[in-house]
Amino acid sequence: MRPVALIAVAVSAVLGVALGIGGGLALDRGQDSFEDPLALGVPMVNQSCTGQFLLAIGKGGLTSLAAALSSNPGGHYLDTDRSCATAWTDSTRPTPHWVAYLGPYGSGAQACAVRMTAANQGSTVTHLRPGTPDTLHCVCYLDYHAMPTLSTGMAAGVTATMWTRALQNMLVDMGRAKKDDATGLYDLTTASQVRQLQRDTNIGATGVVDPLTWHAVQRVGCPLYDLPSTNASP
């Protein structure tokens, strides 16, 4: 074979390999690429006002988002400036720029069932509805029959603390407790406030939060958030 022919073959081979590698990389990028401006290794998926619900598991900076997403492999994150103009935190705090989340869920009850577990302490439920003033109060969306019994002297634990704080926040919003009372500890002060609620709703004033008392909390408290008193409970 002539030298010119050999050179042509060599050039063709090099080009073929280069094009093959380049094509493979392009294909890989096409298959695996997604918008990830924070380089967290998971997709950024912004959410419009669909009426669905999200469980916000991390907010704010990279550290918070990375920690939340590392323990929730199915999570995503969003840019609140490019998502539904709804409540991403309570009304006393500024809106975070970034939010890591699970979902979306079709109902508040579905999102709250995930939120009110030890694995998701500190998370909040957001309704993808424009102009919503605050994150969800999960006590209003769940079946009171399935809520845990709360009383003084009960065993401490993450789940008990979450439910106690949820109750106390409702009592604060009802004007039956001070904000400083929402400690997550079911103490004598909270028991006294519960007994007064029980008296006012004509149920036994035991200071123990049983299903009947949870239902009273829902009937009195949930309308404050423009939620029907019958809510999700049967």
Domains of the chain, by residue range, sit at 53-136, 139-225
Supply the pLDDT for residue 12.
Answer: 43
- pTM (2 d.p.): 0.80
| Mean local confidence (pLDDT), 178-201 | 97
> Locate tokens 């400083």: which residue?
180
The secondary structure of 162-201 as a DSSP string is HHHHHHHHHHHHTTSS-GGG-SS---HHHHHHHHHHHHHT
Distance CA 108, CA 113 (A): 8
| Mean local confidence (pLDDT), 165-176 | 96
* pLDDT band at 8; cut points 50, 70, 90: very low
Supply the pLDDT for residue 228.
Answer: 66
The CATH fold of domain 139-225: Muramoyl-pentapeptide Carboxypeptidase; domain 1 (1.10.101)
H or E, element range at 28: helix 3-32
**What's the longest Cα–Cα distance across the chain?**
105
Supply the pLDDT for residue 28.
Answer: 36
Supply the pLDDT for residue 4.
Answer: 40
Range 115-153 burial, b when 16+ CB lie within 10 A, else e: bbeeebeebbbbbbeeebebbbbbbbbbbbeebbebeee
Q: Return the bridge partners of 77, or none.
A: 44, 100
Comparison of pLDDT for 119 and 16, the residue scoring more: 119
H or E, element range at 101: strand 98-105
Distance CA 169, CA 134 (A): 13
Comparison of pLDDT for 164 and 20, the residue scoring more: 164
First to last CA, the chain: 88
Residue 69 has pLDDT above 50, yes or no: yes
Distance CA 74, CA 85 (A): 24
Distance CA 84, CA 62 (A): 21
Supply the pLDDT for residue 87.
Answer: 94
* pLDDT band at 24; cut points 50, 70, 90: very low
**For the chain, percent of residues with pLDDT exceeding 70:** 83
| Mean local confidence (pLDDT), 12-28 | 36
Supply the pLDDT for residue 84.
Answer: 98
In the numeric block, which tokens belong to residue 92? 């006393």
